[in-house]
Structure 1
Amino acid sequence: MKEQGRISPDVTVDPSAVRLKEEAGQNSVRYFTDWALPQLDMLLPETFEPIEVWTTLDVGMQRAATASIKANTPDGAQGALVSMDRDGAVLALVGGTDYVQTNYNRATDALRQPGSSWKLFVYLAALEAGYTPDDRVVDTAVTIDGWSPRNSSGRNVGEIDLRTAFAYSINTVAAQLGNEVGFTSVASMARRFGITTEINTYPAMVLGSNEVRLIDMTRAFAAVSARGESVEPYGILKVETADGELLYQHEKPRSSQLVPDYVAAGITDLLQTAVATGTGRAAQIGRPVAGKTGTTSSNKDGYFVGFSSGVTTGVWMGRDDNTRVGGLQGGTAPARAFAAYMRYAVKDRPVEEFDTDLQLPEWQLEPDDEYMFGDPEDYYFIDEQGNLIEPGTADTPRNDPFAQDFDRTLGPERPSPSNTSQPGPGPRPPQQPPRGADGAPQAIGDDFLEEATGASGSNRSPPAQRQIN
């Protein structure tokens, strides 16, 4: 104060004469200010002038968040909560159960495993690769590179749809999906949605073995709530001098579409089902909620992240020493804390129904067999007597293209995707049958084999025939 001229240079104070009020606990707003105020160093030029800072924090929501964490966190454990608006404005932030006891901010700094809430990125990658919520998959025992995931129930239920597999957080299906779309694709999706920590791509990553920050996971779910648009968390709205001069004003950053609309609609469908009928039922608040639970091995971490009416909230619970918390699951205490807070957070907002109407692209709605296999009249093939038949010179059965494929010596000349109505390539001289790696003749060419079996490109069967085994 002397340096800034606020008090006379000759003023002295006896510290023993200052009477301070003792406090058993301190307002959890300090968790928010510890995160937000250091950002002023990047937003403002150096100044000694007094300033006024407007933040995104909603005092009522902060009180509700603090109360929900204190009331629902198991004894001996810690809890954290991050809540943000649809544009990324942080409305409430709780980094622990008692700031005075420990000011470590578990909402923004702690690295913990998110468990099955990480499956958000697995299923986003699967939906982007062509899956839909209604596609059939198989819950069965599986081993991937020596890793054999198990379901929490210890059972396998067989064939189900993708929606049910997600709602009940079936590990074997998530493992198969991750293996099919590629673990690097899952990691890339997580990075795309704002995960800033290191991501390993070994198979177990699909079940949430990578450590993340709660604020990053909340940001990812907020992007889903924003129909797939990027969201950047922020806490400072504007800064002015004491004289009213504007020093800083938050401007919405340029957003980008992270996934197509139909992918955002599909994952919202899955998230809504997880709360309505699946593992997240304790998060219901009497209006549409979409979210996902997460529980790590030995109940060390409990996660729930979800959104409703434009507010996205993430909750984590666990012990700082990473030891077991008896009975802790994402669908218990974290989901209950989420519900207790969200009832207050959205009470003055209109009820919003989710957009889960999938407007699929044409390549998913109408799988084009002619594009995949070509027109049968464009093929050279061998008849039952072993004679080479040129294209268009004989009636070719059309009702069983797979049966025909393995009698043809040459692959099809695939029509151009942009003009499939053009005539075939016309006659061409016979060629020697291709040979495999062992030198033996092959019945058909490698290119055609890859096309017919789906081994090229995405390495999957056509969407209409897809099934995980």
Structure 2
Amino acid sequence: MAERGSRRAAAKTQRRRQSAAPKDEPTGWRLWVRRGLIWGGGATILGVIFLALAVVFAARSLPSYSALKATQPGQTIVVRARDGSELVELGPSYGKWLDSSQIPEVMKDAMVSVEDRRFFSHPGIDPIGLVRAVYVWITGDRRLGATSTITQQLARNLFLNSNRSIDRKLREIVLAMALETKFSKQQILELYLNKVYFGGGAYGVDSASRKFFSHDATDLSVAEAAIIAGLVKAPSRYSPTADVDAAVGRANVVLRLMREQGRISASEAQVDPSTVKLKKDASQNSVRYFTDWALPQLEILLPETFEPIEVWTTLDVGMQQAAATAISSNVPKGTQGALVSMDRDGAILAMVGGTDYVTSNYNRATEAVRQPGSAWKLFVYLAALEAGYTPEDRVKDVPVTIDGWSPRNSGGGYAGEIDVRTAFAYSKNTVAAQLGNEVGFGTVASMARRFGITTPVSTYPSMVLGSSETRVLDMTRAFASVSAGGTSLEPYGIVKVTTTDGDLLYQHEQRSSTRLVPDYVAAGMTDLLQTAVSTGTGRAAQIGRPVAGKTGTTSSNKDGWFLGFSSGITTGVWMGRDDAKAVPGLQGGTAPARAFAAYMRYAVKDRPVEQFETDLKLPDWQLEPDEEYMFGGDPDDYYYIDDAGNLVEPQRPGPGQGPQADQFPVEGEQIPGQPSRRPAPVDEATQAASDDFLNRATGGRPPAPQPSPRPRQSAVPPAPPVTSQRQPSN
């Protein structure tokens, strides 16, 4: 009995325990779901608290509205032509700041429609848009799409970079909500529309409107607003100056969204964006060759500044266009061309560094070094004229050899005895070689340096035919110095620099010029250059008014040059391949000369016709011996006056003395081991080289010399060994 009662009591106790246990206690997966909800809810509450605290602290640390308006990354540079017109705008461009009331409603509606349709209802982030993006990402095979609101984009533009990371995205969300906390919707939209990037360096709607439509943003039409709003997604892809069709297609998408959201009427949505008149984009044309050369000089000309500036340059818009057209229209197929045009004071009027800046921004006018060919003879004949030659003097176009180097003329023939003027006009290589050897190759190199050649110059015999490489800018400067009467010129491209408010930061000051050669030497050189165009190898450069110039062609037709001047404008043209391969038919007197003429006809059209100063007013040291000779005197007994005005007494050998030294040495001191020489007698003055030189060169006695009314010294320095047999011609 007792045992049975004990069992009944145990069973009763168990029933009470079972009845006390909850009947709906979850088990298995239900238990884990419940735990997840509990922990998830707790985490969410903590996250919301953390986010709220982060937003509060971020809002308190945000700059003021006025400070945010003032922030501008980078420096804006507006480059202006010599007439004040805008050439190109470089760097960030912000235009005018437009208050919310000044921004057209259609512009606001277009931007909200395409970028953030729930802008006026969300707290900085768009939960609906975020959920939709996540859903598409999970159910489809596309990556997580962009979910940035206008406020998030503004936060990123103001404070963050564009890295695609979770950390950056979280900070973007916090900052966006902080912006919404501190500023109104209208303030946020105003900041956004004045700072968002629209491509081409344009920040803000006003800058974009000026860049693409040539007017400020207060007058934007529906179609123009749609084009601008469509740029934000991909500024480079939808830029109207890069791809008009892409820009119009994107603008039509904006118009459709505006219509669907009820922001414009059906009739307004039917406007055709393709009818919008776009401003021509000058940022990628040939002007950039000039700006790439000129603007780096600002680092030297200006103190460090980050404020927007305006750079007023020497470039002439019409001449620049004419130069670009002249090069592109005349350059042989598969080659490049360069042009530099300079005013009489050194101002650069036009500069073309290649046929297409977009394809290649390498500036061949200022950076490339190429052999100038016979254009280099400018320095040979300048040295000869300074040594006493005149254009009428007689020289010999005959075969010569200088230490194993035998120059040949372009046509292969020899004219015999001719005058200096003819030898230069027809670019006789043999005469140039004799003159260079007579005055000294070092003298020719020094003359090139004197006239602004900055590249290395060799003193080997072949240098007289242009074997030393140089730049188009340097050669143009040298010819311009001849045009200026033998005085130095400094090329420049920047006239002044001002702030956008008109404050002067820099003003160009003309440097004092230096006389490089006597005026009679410059006059004689101009005489030779004028003849080269009127009757010689540069006839294709004639433009119906006096032109002086010189052709240049290198061996195997690798380079073609023409450089010359007229009416105070000096222009240099080069053509050739970047890889220095031969160009069939390319000569200085063909395509380069034609391009020169095409450009110069436009360049000088508004300038008066100027005759060249070619009258030789020779110094006393050249004139007086001639007069004495006419009266039967002996030049060796005459007292000479050198070109510095110093009296030079004739030196006669005394007892035990050797031959006389040169009374007018062309180069420095007498070379040790070389016999000294007296000034050439009158009947020997017609030779382009001494008897000794011609005997060595021809292997026999030279032809009988012709009498001349003007004595001149003959200097034959030893020729250095030849290391290169390349010989430019013409």
TM-score by length of 2: 0.53
Whether 2:313 is the aligned partner of 1:34: answer no
Deviation at 1:17? 3.4
Whole-Å Cα distance in 1 between the matches of residues 614 and 406 of structure 2? 33
Note if 1:329 corresponds to 2:576. no
Q: CA deviation at 1:98?
A: 0.4
What pairs up with 1:53-68 in 2 under 5 angstroms? 53-68=311-326
Task: Report the alpha carbon displacement of residue 135 of structure 1 after superposing the two structures with TM.
Answer: 0.3
**How much does 1:243 deviate?**
1.6
1:463 shift after superposition:
6.6
| 1:3 pairs with 2:223 | no
Moved more, 106-115 or 6-15: 6-15
SS in 2 for 1:233: coil
* 1:265 equivalenced with 2:477 (yes/no): no
CA distance in structure 1 between the partners assigned to 2:433 and 2:554 by the alignment: 16
- Matching residue of 1:319: 577
Partner of 1:341: 599
Contact 1:183 1:202 in 2 (8 A): yes
Residue 252 (str. 1) matches residue 464 (str. 2): no
Provide the identity percentage. 69
Aligned 8 A contact 1:229 1:258 in 2? yes
The answer to whether the Cα contact below 8 Å between 1:68 and 1:341 also exists between their aligned partners in 2 is yes
Rounded Cα–Cα distance in structure 2 between residues aligned with 1:362 and 1:243 = 58
Aligned match for 1:172, one of 409, 418, 430: 430
The aligned residue for residue 43 of structure 2 is none
Partners of 2:423 and 2:431 within 8 A in 1: yes
Deviations 1:412-441 (A, max 9, x none): 9986978899xxx9xxxxx9x63xxxxxxx
Asked if 1:144 is matched to 2:402, the reply is yes
The answer on whether the counterparts of 1:367 and 1:462 sit within 8 Å (CA) in structure 2 is: no
Q: 1:14-413, aligned counterparts within 5 Å?
A: 16-18=233-235, 19-20=238-239, 21-22=241-242, 26-367=284-625
Residues 192-237 of structure 1 deviation map (CA, whole Å, 9 limit, x = unaligned): 0000000011000000000000000000000001001101100000
> Within 2, Cα distance between the matches of 1:325 and 1:63?
26
- The secondary structure found in structure 2 opposite 1:317 is strand
Question: What's the offset of the Cα at 1:465?
Answer: 3.7
Cα distance in structure 2, aligned partners of 1:271 and 1:419: 33
Q: Is the 8 A contact 2:625 2:638 kept in 1?
A: no
Is 2:661–2:678's contact at 8 Å kept on the other side of the alignment? Answer: no
2:464 match: secondary structure: helix
- The offset of 1:316, in angstroms, is 0.1
SS of the residue 1:447 aligns to: coil
**Contact 2:335-2:578 within 8 A present in 1 as well:** yes
Superposition misfits of 4+ residues, deviation over 3 angstroms? 1-8, 10-17, 23-26, 368-371, 398-402, 412-421, 447-451, 454-460, 462-465
Question: Is the CA contact (8 Å cut-off) linking 1:193 and 1:220 kept in structure 2?
Answer: yes
Q: Distance in 2 between matches of 1:247 and 1:360?
A: 47
Match of 2:658 among 446, 451, 458: 446
When residues 101 and 413 of structure 1 are mapped into structure 2, their CA distance, relative to the original with a 3 A threshold, is closer
Cα distance in 2 for partners of 1:185, 1:121 equals 9
SS in 1 for 2:625: coil
Q: What are the Cα deviations for residues 170-190 of structure 1, in whole angstroms up to 9, with x where unaligned?
A: 000000000000000000000
Measure the CA separation in 2 of the matches of 1:121 and 1:416. 26
> Could you report, residue by residue, the CA deviation over 1:317-343 in whole angstroms, capped at 9, with x for unpaired residues?
000000000100000000000000000
Q: Secondary structure at the match of 1:366?
A: helix
Tell me which of the two structures has the higher relative contact order, counting C-alpha pairs closer than 8 angstroms and 6 or more residues apart. 1
2:233 aligned counterpart, secondary structure: helix
Q: State the Cα deviation string for residues 146-195 of structure 1 (Å, max 9, x = none).
A: 11000011111100000000000000000000000000000000000000
Aligned amino acid, residue 54 of structure 1: W
RMSD: 3.1
Asked if 1:461 is matched to 2:680, the reply is: yes
Q: Deviations over 1:381-400 (max 9, x none)?
A: xxxxxxxxxxxxxxxxx989
SS of residue in 2 equivalent to 1:46: coil
From the superposition, tell whether residues 458 and 86 of structure 1 become closer, same or farther in structure 2 (CA, over 3 Å): farther
* Alpha carbons 1:163, 1:273 under 8 Å: kept: yes
* Secondary structure at the counterpart of residue 571 of structure 2: strand
Tell which deviates more after alignment, 454-463 or 122-131: 454-463
Distance of 1:450 and 1:52 partners within structure 2: 58
Compute the displacement of 1:95 (Å). Answer: 0.2
Instruction: Write the letter of the residue equivalent to 1:16.
Output: K
1:68-101 Cα shifts (integer Å, max 9, x gaps): 0000000000000000100000000000000011
Give the counterpart letter for 2:379 in structure 1. Answer: F
Cα 1:27–1:459, aligned 2, differ >3 Å: closer, same or farther?
farther
Alpha-carbon offset, residue 364 of structure 1: 1.1
Give the Cα–Cα distance (whole angstroms) in 2 for the partners of residues 109 and 130 of structure 1.
Answer: 36
Q: How many residues of Structure 1 are paired with residues of Structure 2 in the alignment?
A: 415
Structure 1 partner of 2:174 = none
Using the size of structure 1 for normalisation, the TM-score is 0.82
Shift in CA distance, 161/42, structure 1 to aligned 2, threshold 3 Å = same
Cα distance in 2 for residues equivalent to 1:345 and 1:306: 13
Going from structure 1 to structure 2, the CA distance change for 1:456 and 1:90 (only over 3 Å counts) comes to farther
In 2, distance between residues paired with 1:125 and 1:297?
24
The answer to whether the 8 Å contact 2:566/2:610 transfers is yes
CA distance in structure 1 between the aligned counterparts of 2:516 and 2:660, rounded to whole angstroms: 34
Alignment-derived partner of residue 34 in structure 2 = none
Query: d(CA) in 1 for partners of 2:637 and 2:334?
Result: 68
Tell me if structure 1 keeps the 8 A contact 2:564–2:570. yes
| Secondary structure, counterpart of 1:82 in structure 2 | strand
- Give, in whole Å, the separation in 1 of the partners of 2:568 and 2:626: 39
C-alpha change, 1:399 and 1:262, in structure 2 (3 Å) is: closer
Between 1:142-151 and 1:455-464, the stretch displaced more is 455-464
CA distance change for structure 1 residues 449 and 118 in 2, over 3 Å: closer, same or farther?
A: closer
CA contact (8 A) 1:367 1:464 kept: no
- Stretches of structure 1 that go unaligned for 5 or more consecutive residues are 372-397, 403-411, 426-430, 435-444
Contact between 2:660 and 2:678, CA under 8 Å: does it hold in 1? Answer: no
Look at both structures and tell me which one has the larger radius of gyration over its CA atoms: 2
SS at match of 2:452: coil
Q: 1:107 and 1:27 mapped to 2: Cα distance?
A: 15
Any gaps of 5 or more consecutive residues in structure 2?
1-70, 76-93, 98-153, 160-191, 198-230, 244-280, 667-673, 689-693, 695-730
> Structure 1 residues 463 and 101 mapped into 2: Cα distance closer, same or farther (>3 Å)?
farther
Larger helix share, 1 or 2: 2
AA in 2 matched with 1:367: P
Equivalents in 2 of 1:420, 1:237: separation in Å?
A: 47
Q: Shift of residue 351 of structure 1?
A: 0.1
